[in-house]
Amino acid sequence: MFVEVNEPARQDEIATSLKERLTLKETIVIDLKGLSPDTTHLDEVKKRLQTEPNSEVVLILNLHTLAKNVEGKEPGLVRDLNFSREPYARMNKLLVFFFPSYFIDLIAQHARDFFDFVSMSFKFLPDRTGAFEGLDPLREMAEEKFLRNRVAFLESALESYTFTESERADKLFDLAEGYSKLYLYDKALSFYFKCLELSRIINNRKIEGVALNNISQIYQARGDYETALKYLQDSLKIRREIGDKSGEGTVLNNISQIYDARGDYETALKYLQDSLKIRREIGDKSGEGAALNNISQIYRARGDYETALKYLQDSLKIRREIGDKSGEGAVLNNISQIYDARGDYETALKYLQDSLKICREIGHKSGEGAVLNNISGIYQARGNYETALKYLQDSLKITIEIGAKSGQIPTLHNMALIEYEMKNMEKTLALETEAYKIALETGDALGLFQVGQFLGQILIENGQRKEGITILRRSYEIGRASGMPGAEDIKNVLQKLGEEI
C-alpha cells in the first residue's frame, strides 16, 4: 500500500494516527531517514521484523531519502525497488510505504513491477494555505528535475491512459500546478483552464474553486490585479457556497494581497483579519502563520515596526513548529527588513542569509530574488556599491526569468539609487523610468509611491520640472490615501517648489 503525502510533518502525524487506531493489529513504524549507506532499506526492514516478529502492519517512512546512498540517485533507487518486490511479498505483512508524489511518479515510470505490487494507494494532499493552493502541493519537489519528471509523466499519462472525468480533472490540475512551480505560467494557465472547464461539466465545485484561486495567482504574479481579483471573488463565492472554510481562509488572504499591492491597507487588513479568524477556528496552523506574516506587512508599510515585529515573531514560531520551510524563509526575510529599517544591519544581514539559504534549498525562485534584492540594500547602506549592484543584478535576472513583473520594480529602483550615488545620472534615469513604467502597468501602489518620489525629484534636477512635478503629485496622492510614511515629505518638497497642495 502507498500513502502519498508531501509534508514531512504531515507524514509523521498520519503514521502516529494510524498506529494509535490500529489497536487490533500489531503495528510498527520504520523510519529509514538517516540510514547508514552500508545498510539497504530491505535489510533494515528485515532486521526490525526479526526483533518484532508478531508485527502485522509495517509503516515504512522516508525510503525516498535514501537516494543519496545509491548510484544514480532517485532513478537508481527506484529501479532497485523492482528487485525488492519478491522479498517484501514473502514477508507476508501489510506493508505501508509513505512517499511524496514525485517519487510515486518515478516508481510508476521506472519500477513498474514494484508499482503493480501495490494493492491500493491513499492520498493525504491538503490544500495549500499560501497563495497557491494544491490538491497536490508538491512541497518536497525543490529540485527542477523532479518537477520536470512529474509534468512529463502527467502529460504522457493523459495521452496514454483512460481516466474517468473526475480523475482527468485531478490530473489536469496536477499538471497545471507543476507548470506553475516551474514558472511556465502560459502552460500552467492552459491546463488550469482545461481543468476549470471539466470541473464545471462534472460539477466538482471543490476543484473549480481551487483552480479559480490558482489562476488568480498567476495573473497577480504578472501584475494584472483586476483580473486576479475577479477570479478570487469567483473562488470565494464557491468556497462559501460549499462550506469550504479552509479554502475561504486562503482566498480571503489572497484578496487582501491585491488591496495591499494597491495601497488600500484598511481593506487589506480587514480581509486578513477575517482570514486569521477562520484559520484559528479550524485549527489551520499553516494558514494562521501566513495570515500573521501578511498582517505584519501592513503595519510595516505604515511604519509601525514594533507591531509588525510582534506579528512576524508569532508567525515564525508557527512556521518552525509545523516544518514550513517556505514560510519560514519568507518570515526571516521580512524580519530582516524591520532591523534594516532600524539601522541594525548586522542583524538584518543574518536573517537575510538564513532566508536565502532556505530559498535555495527548496527552489523558491521568487523568494530568492526578493532576498538578493534585500541583501543588496545592506551593502548599499554600508557604501559597498559594487557588491550591492551584483546582488541586484542577480535578483533582476531571476525576476525577469520567472516573469514576476512586480518583483522587478524594487530591484530596478534600488539599482537606480546606487547609480545615483555613483553620479551616473543617465543610468539612474533609465532604470528609474523603467521601474515606474512597470509600476504603472501593474498598478503597484507602493512602487508608484516609492519610485515616483525619487523619479520626480531626479527629473526636476535634470531640468524636466513639469514631468517631475506631475509624478511627485501622483506619488503624494497615493501616499496620502494609503497612509504611507513619507507622504508628508513629498508634500514639503512640492511646497518648497512653490506648488499648492
CA 356 – CA 290 distance, rounded (Å)? 19
Pair 422, 406: CB distance under 8 Å: no
- Cell triple for 269: 487588513
Among 21, 10, 12, CA closest to 57 = 21
Query: H or E element: which one contains 376?
Result: helix 365-381
Q: For the domain 142-283, what is the CATH superfamily, name and number?
A: Tetratricopeptide repeat domain (1.25.40.10)
From the number of C-beta atoms within 10 Å of its C-beta (0-12, 13-18, 19+), residue 426 rates as exposed
Grid cell in block for residue 21: 487506531
165-181 and 144-160 helices, crossing angle to 10°: 150
157 Cβ contact list (under 8 Å, min separation 6) = 171
Dist CA 282 CA 285 (whole Å)? 9
For residue 25, what is the DSSP state? S
Cα–Cα distances (Å) from 177 to 148, 160, 390, in that order, read 12, 20, 32
DSSP-derived letter for residue 33 is T
8 Å CB contact between 139 and 6: yes
Tens of pLDDT along the chain (501 residues)?
888 876 677 788 888 888 877 776 789 999 998 888 778 898 899 999 999 988 989 999 989 888 765 555 666 677 778 778 888 888 888 899 998 877 887 787 677 677 766 656 566 554 333 455 543 333 333 345 567 777 888 888 888 888 899 999 999 999 999 888 877 888 999 999 999 999 999 999 999 999 999 999 998 877 788 999 999 999 999 999 999 999 999 999 999 999 988 889 999 999 999 999 999 999 999 899 999 999 998 999 888 999 999 999 999 999 999 999 989 999 999 999 999 988 999 999 999 999 999 999 888 888 899 899 899 989 988 899 999 999 999 999 998 988 878 889 989 999 999 999 999 999 999 999 999 999 998 888 888 999 999 999 999 999 999 999 999 999 999 888 877 778 888 998 899 888 887
What are the structural domain ranges in the chain?
A: 2-123, 142-283, 444-501
Q: What is the pTM of this model?
A: 0.54
Name the 3-class secondary structure at 53: coil
Q: Report which residue type is found at 301.
A: A
